[in-house]
Each structure stands twice: as structure tokens, then as C-alpha cells.
A and B are shown apart, each in its own frame.
Chain A
């Protein structure tokens, strides 16, 4: 019998029956979103052409808990509850007194946390009689998750995949094909937004903001089609809350009543939210008073650490509602870093609000140090993480090393949001040397006294 327990597994019956909605517990009310055409606050009727009715209700709901439909829970049990691991070997490598736990979301069939909301979104659209869903994907994790979800409900799926990732990750698009989805490189000639962007720059590597424009246009122009977003929106963060709720229970199994530091990578913010928001509730309820939250993002696209808290579009072409969030400007095209899922100019309004109110910290990292951390992690723990998740690993190692220096024993929990089996070409590039360390020239922009993000007024 091993003296050190490594895995903490919940029974299928322990899968949460409700999602936790942080909108009930925000320190200040969240600002409204605005219709990009009328500049009036967005109402349900504005969203109805592209979103399922229940998702619209969840988007603005302030109920603290929302029931998870039985059909959705049934499918989630294919991989949930996901395991919580104690990273004994990483702790030993780092010679840290910290206790490191990671919630592993790479066990879902598509290999990441994205399936948690893909199933729910597909289900609600099926209920509304929708036959087809259009979406965007960056690294391919969301696109493959929605392809998986839609085929379970006999729906069609169209995925606009950021061209940089489309070229880098051929197996992701084959995965989508296996689940019956049609995946095209974005910008594509299939939409007006795509044609306009291609005319402007035929060789663009694309961006999430561009792909969102195409998917929204597709959904708005086809009556049998709705749109689905894999991050950013309130209802997506809601669906991801199963991650944190399970983790709190699993930590109790490990004898930990509290976490000192909760860490996740942040592109649009949903995997971070999924882990952190339930812990935030514990904190404000006084059960984890000293819990600290850290969102990690790429230095190439440092939305929280260097962006403005302002109103901006969620996409490049200005089709989406104007949301209050941290943004680098909707026209910003992040460089082609390997963590394609973190190449987004904005941030979930809920995560943004909590960061603005000082409830959440944020740090940014360069590519090479992130991959260095990922390689150390896989050599210690065995799991080859996705480049996005590797950002969280880097911050975990930084915090754990700080514990070593100070001698303080902290309990660190992070969301290992996906595996990197389709990202091995990124590891290959890292091993070959010469990965560019991109960064956002924030100081130059700040010194210019100009607010480069063009915020609609």
C-alpha cells in the first residue's frame, strides 16, 4: 500500500447536480452589454437570433445555483467527475514545502475542459429545435468539444478554426471530422466577414476575434443555425463551475479544508472561472478566507495584466455585443504563439470584473519559460499538458518555489485544463530552440498617452 495518496476520485453520483452562478455573489453588479448596432443595453430579444433561450436566461441570471439537466449530467459522467491529483513528484522536484494539487480535465473525450459547456450548449439548442451550430475555435479544443457535443444530439456543427492553428494542428480538424463536424480555416471565403478580412490580408494567420465574426455571421444568416461560444460568456463560466465544485470536495478527501492559491490559465477566462469561482464562493462565505486567485496569460496577449478595463466588442468585425471587460482592443491580432487558445483580445466580463475589483490577480509569461515548465511537469508527473495549461504550470512552479524560499507551506490547486497530445509540434519547436518570446509593447503604448483599443462610445 502506497503511503502517499495520489488520486482523489469522486463517485459518479457526486457529480454536481447544480452549476454555481457567481453572478449571485459579485462584489458589484456587472455592467450591461450593449447592442453593437443600437448601442442600447442588450435584451433577450437581441440574443434570440443566435442563442438558445435557456442560455440567454442563464447569461443574465442571478440565481446562485442552476440545475444541471439530467441528460447533460448523464453525458458528463462519460468522464466526470474528473480526477484530482496530488503532484508529489513535482513537489519533490521543486523541493517545496507546498502541497500541489491539479484537477485534470484532459480526461474528457476531446481532451479538455471545453466539453463541460459544449454538452450543455448543444443540449439547450437541441431543445429549441436548432439543427446546426456554428462556432469558432482557436487551438481546436473548443471546436472538437462542440463537434463531440453536437453529434451526441444529432446536430450539425460548423467550425471556423483560426488559420494558424488549422495549419499547425491537422489532427484537431480530423477529430472534428470524426465527430461529424465541418471545419474550415478562418478567415474563410464562406462569410462576408472572412472575405473582407482576406481581402485586407490574404496571408493572415487569423485570430479568435476574426473566427467569432464568421461564426456569428453564419448563425445570424441561417434560420436553422445558432451560435455557440467556448469561453468568455457568463453561461460558459457557469457550465465550467463543475470543475471547482468537484475540486473542493476532492480536497476534503485529501484532508485539505482550504486552498491557499488557486491558479488557472486565462484566454477567454472560462477554465480559470470554472475552477476559481466555486472557491471564490468559499472565500466570501468565510470558509477559505485567505484563498488567493491567480490567472496566468501569455506575455504576447496580456489582456488582464496590460489591457484596459473598458467596453469593447467581443470580435474583430463588431458583430457581438459590446461588453465591459479587459481588452487589448478588438482589432488586436495576437502573434502566433503556440497556446492558440489564449490568443484572444478580451476576457470574460465576470473574470474582468473580479480582477478590476482586486479579487483576482493576474500574471503573464513568455513562451519559452512556459514550455520549460511544461517539460519539467511532464517529466515529473507524466502528463504532457496543452500549451495553454502550461501557463498555469509555470505559475504553480513560481509559487511553489517562492514557498521553498520562504519555507511557507501552502496548498496550491491548479486547473490542468487539457492534454497536449495534439500540440506535439509545438513541443518540437520548443526543443528545436528559437521559439520567439513575443510580448505586448504595453509600455510604449502607455507612454504614447493614447488608448489604442478603440472603444465604441
Chain B
């Protein structure tokens, strides 16, 4: 397999010196005494990668070639940055070069910003796997550690392909201690799940798609004709609408009534209006991002006012087993601590046809 490896050498520098992000802040981070974080993580990754069966592609200098060479990892340089100080544009161009050379997986060291830049180029066409090196890592494409990422690559034939949200964090708001998270897209990422049957790389996408289909079939089968269903963001929830034979909004919230989509890409106010109109409402949501947020991060349309009106019991949470294996605890952040406390400590997550898992829910 051809694997592209790219490092954002300045990722994570802002975090240690209180900048809460490095986008456009490299000079200030250096002035404050920040030292690069990503190269150390990348060195750990490269030292553990086993080359058998793989061809590694990388970008020049600090974006990969120097560290690969130092680690004794043979990697072909397919893009060279113009300047010593690299930019997001260099990350994007390196990924374009990987695609041109037929890369089937992109490994990167960086944070949410890097993930977003790579996703902007590769979309869900090529899987991506991140080594966490940034200030913020809310996206679901990150392995826990460089060692975990290397293990996943070394055992790709056992890995399962999962959908993973790429999150867009508003850095300006973040520096003001406000977390404004939106969903930038759904990427694909490999995961070692531990308890799923081993499967070949080529069939992984089918595994995940089938798991989503089983869940969707079940949700459709238990839907009542007298209930409005608010279908949250994500590929698993999108499969529910697809199972109804309809098209939905991958990154937004749609409303379904009597097996038909009656409203698409809803905002908070539109949802509140629907709640006035329909007496019986349920919401179908899927955990979002690396931490597995059931509500609150990336789905702000489900505002405290909306959640209060619907009630905690009316939420049906769905997720594939592969996804749950990466988020052993799910999280909740409605924005209202009192509302958070109305949710139980354990929730039921539908993970197959007539099949669910009991999962801990943390605030």
C-alpha cells in the first residue's frame, strides 16, 4: 500500500505558550519560547513503522523527509515546500502530490487545523490517520498516541475503516475561552477495534457501511407514524434517511415525519418552530468527534432550549461498533450544566439491528 506521510512541523507550538492554537501565530509562539512538538511525535511514529508491504511517500525537509531519513524509514519525497517556514498551503499541496502518486492512506502529524487542511484535499476518498500533535484535537481521525498510530498501520489488515468527523474550531473564539465547534466533514479512518472480526482492508468500507445499514434498518422499523424525528449530523444518521429512500444533510439536522423528510438542514429556531407544530418528537443522534460528544460539540442546533423541549428520554443515540470502540466513554456538553445533569450516567447506544450497547456518559 502507498502511504503518504506529512508533518505540520509547527503544529502544537501555540499550546504550550498559551496561544490555544498555532494558525497565524508561529512567530508569536516562537517569541514566547515555544519549541516544536510535532517532530518528536513524528520521530516516534517513524521509528515504529514497519515497511513490509508498504511504500511511503512524504514531503521534503521538516514536513517528513528529514525525520524519516533519521529514523531509517525509506520514503520517497514527492513534494518540497518553497520556504523553510511551512504553511497550510504546503500541507494541502503535499496531499495533492500524494494523491497524484496513488496514495491509499495519509498519515499526518498535526492538530485539528491540519486535519481540516488535509480533508479539504482528500475528502472521504482516501482514509487519513492523525498522530496527535496539535493544540486542539476534537476530530475523530486521531490515534491516541504515535505508538497507537504505528500499530494501526503495521496491522492494517486487521483494521476496520470507520467514518470520523473532521471538526472546525473557531480559533478566535477559542482564544476567548469559547468553544465554537462545527462539523467540517466526514473523513474515513482506520481503527483497530479489538473485538470486531478481523477483516481485510478492501472489505472494511463494506463492514462499516453494513453496520450503518443495520442500524438504519432498525431505526426505520421502529419509527412511529405519529412522531417527528430530528435526525442529527453524521454518516450513521445519514444512513437512516437513506434507508427511507430520501436524501439528507450529512453535516446538519433534518426532520422526518411519516417516513418522509419534511425539513432539511435545520437551525435552532426552525427546530423550535417544529416542536410547536408536532406534539410528539424524538431525536436520533450519533456521537461526534474524537471524544464522542453525543450533544454539544458540532451539533449546536440542539441548543439547551431545544433539548429541554424534547427531553433527555427522547434522544436515540446510534453508532457503529467500530466507532464505539474508539470512544469507550461518551460525552455530553449541552451548554447548560443543569440540563447535563438530567441525562443518566449510562445510555443505550443502538449499534446494530435490535442491538444496543450500554455506554458510560460523562459531562
Do A and B make up one complex? yes
Question: CA–CA, A439 to B348, complex, Å?
Answer: 8
Partner among A201, A203, A299 whose Cβ is within 8 Å of the Cβ of B199:
A203
Q: Is chain A's binding surface mostly helix, strand, loop or mixed?
A: loop
Residues of A within 8 A of B24 (CB): none
Q: Which residues of A contact B (CB under 8 A)?
A: 167, 201, 203, 205, 299-300, 328-329, 332-336, 366, 429, 434-441, 443-445, 447-450, 452
B interface residues with partner A (beta carbon < 8 Å): 194-195, 197, 199, 203, 207, 210, 218, 221-224, 316, 321, 324-325, 328, 348, 350-359
A441-B218, A444-B356 given. 6 additional CB < 8 A pairs? A167-B197, A203-B197, A434-B325, A435-B195, A444-B350, A450-B222
Q: How far is the CB of B267 from chain A (nearest CB, A)?
A: 28
CB–CB B358/A450 < 8 A? no
Q: Given the known A-B contacts A203-B203, A436-B195, are A333 and B222 also in contact in the complex, defined by CB atoms under 8 Å?
A: no
Residues of B within 8 A of A299 (CB): 358
Also in contact, A441 and B197, with CB within 8 A (given A448-B223, A450-B221) = no
Across the interface, A203 reaches (CB within 8 A) one of B195, B207, B316, B351, namely B207
Contact A438 to B356, CB < 8 A, known contacts A203-B203, A429-B195, A444-B350: yes
Residues of A with C-beta under 8 A to B321? 436
**A205 near B197: Cβ-Cβ < 8 Å:** yes
Ordered nearest first, which 5 A-B pairs have the shortest CB separation? A448-B222, A437-B358, A441-B356, A335-B355, A436-B357
A438: chain B residues within 8 A (beta carbon): 351, 355-358
A334–B355 Cα distance when bound, in Å, is 7
Q: Which of B195, B221, B356, B359 contacts A440 (CB 8 A)?
A: B356
Nearest-neighbour CB distance to chain B for A208, whole angstroms, equals: 16
The residue on B at minimum CB distance from A446 is B222
- Most B CB contacts (10 A, CB to CB) among A435, A438, A444 go to A444
Cα separation A441 to B348 with both chains bound (whole Å): 8
B241 to chain A, nearest CB (A): 18
The reply to whether B358 and A434 form a contact with Cβ atoms under 8 Å apart is no
Contact between A452 and B221, CB atoms less than 8 A apart: yes
Could you tell me if B350 and A441 are in contact, using CB atoms closer than 8 angstroms? yes
Task: Sample 15 A-B pairs with CB under 8 A, ordered by A number.
Answer: A203-B203, A203-B207, A300-B355, A332-B354, A434-B195, A434-B328, A435-B195, A436-B321, A436-B324, A437-B358, A438-B351, A438-B356, A447-B224, A448-B224, A450-B222
Cross-chain contact of A448 among B195, B210, B221, B352 (Cβ < 8 A): B221
Q: Helix, strand, loop or mixed for chain B's interface? A: mixed
Residues on B with C-beta less than 8 A from A444 are 222, 316, 348, 350, 356
Closest chain A residue, CB of each to CB of B207 = A203
Residues of B within 8 A of A335 (CB): 352, 355
- Kindly state the separation between the CA atoms of A452 and B223 in the bound complex, as whole angstroms: 12
Q: Report how far A444 CA is from B318 CA in the complex, Å.
A: 12
- Shortest distance in angstroms between B115's beta carbon and chain A's nearest beta carbon? 25
Which residues of the partner chain B approach A333 to less than 8 Å between Cβ atoms? 353
Q: A203-B199, A203-B203 are in contact. Are A452 and B357 (CB under 8 A)?
A: no
List residues of chain A with CB within 8 A of the CB of B221: 448, 450, 452
Q: Which residue of B lies closest to A368 (CB)?
A: B358
Cα–Cα, bound, A439→B359 (Å):
10
CB pair B355–A441 under 8 Å, yes or no, is yes
Q: How far is the CA of A125 from the CA of B359 in the complex (A)?
A: 48
Interface centre among A328, A435, A437, A449 (most CB of B within 10 A): A437
Instruction: Choose among A201, A203, A441, A447 the residue that contacts B354 (Cβ–Cβ < 8 A).
Output: A441
- Complex Cα gap A399–B40 (Å): 55
Q: Is the CB of A437 within 8 A of B224?
A: no
CA distance A64 to B78 in the complex (A): 83
Knowing A441-B348, A448-B221, the reply to whether A328 touches B354 (Cβ < 8 A) is: yes
| Interfacial chain A residues near B357, Cβ < 8 Å | 436-439
CB distance from B194 to the nearest CB of A (A): 6
B220 to chain A, nearest CB (A): 10
Q: Which residues on the A side are within 8 Å of B324 (C-beta)?
A: 436
Q: Which partner residue on chain B sits nearest A433 by CB separation?
A: B328
Given the complex, which residues of A lie within 8 Å of B325, measured CB to CB? 434
Q: Smallest Cβ distance from A453 to chain B, in angstroms?
A: 10
- CB-based nearest B residue for A448: B222
The interface residues of chain A lying within 8 Å CB-to-CB of B194 are: 434
Q: Kindly identify which residue among A203, A332, A447 contacts B222, using a CB–CB cutoff of 8 Å.
A: A447
Name B199's closest neighbour in chain A (CB-CB). A203
Q: A167 to chain B: which residues have CB within 8 Å?
A: 197
What distance in Å separates the Cβ of B185 from its nearest Cβ neighbour in chain A? 28
Structural contact, B328 and A439, CB atoms closer than 8 A:
no
Which chain A positions have C-beta within 8 A of B355? Answer: 300, 334-335, 438, 440-441
Report chain B residues within 8 Å CB of A439: 348, 356-358
Given contacts A203-B207, A439-B348, whether A452 and B354 have CB atoms under 8 Å apart is yes
Instruction: Give Cα A299 to B354, complex, Å.
Output: 12
Residues of B within 8 A of A447 (CB): 222, 224
A207: min CB distance to chain B, Å: 12
Query: When A205-B197, A429-B195, A448-B224 are in contact, do A440 and B354 touch as well, CB less than 8 Å?
Result: yes
> How far apart are the CA atoms of A201 and B355 in the complex, in Å?
17
Interface contact B210-A201, CB-CB below 8 Å: yes
A203: which B residues are within 8 A, CB to CB?
Answer: 197, 199, 203, 207, 210
B196 closest partner in A (C-beta)? A336
Closest CB in chain B relative to A109 CB, distance in Å: 31
Question: Which A residue's beta carbon lies closest to that of B359?
Answer: A437
A437–B328 Cα distance when bound, in Å, is 11
Q: Which residues of A contact B197 (CB under 8 A)?
A: 167, 203, 205
Q: How far is the CA of A444 from the CA of B224 in the complex (A)?
A: 11
Residue of A nearest to B328 (CB): A434
Cα(A203)–Cα(B197), bound, Å: 8
Q: How long is the Cα–Cα vector from A436 to B218 in the complex, in angstroms?
A: 20
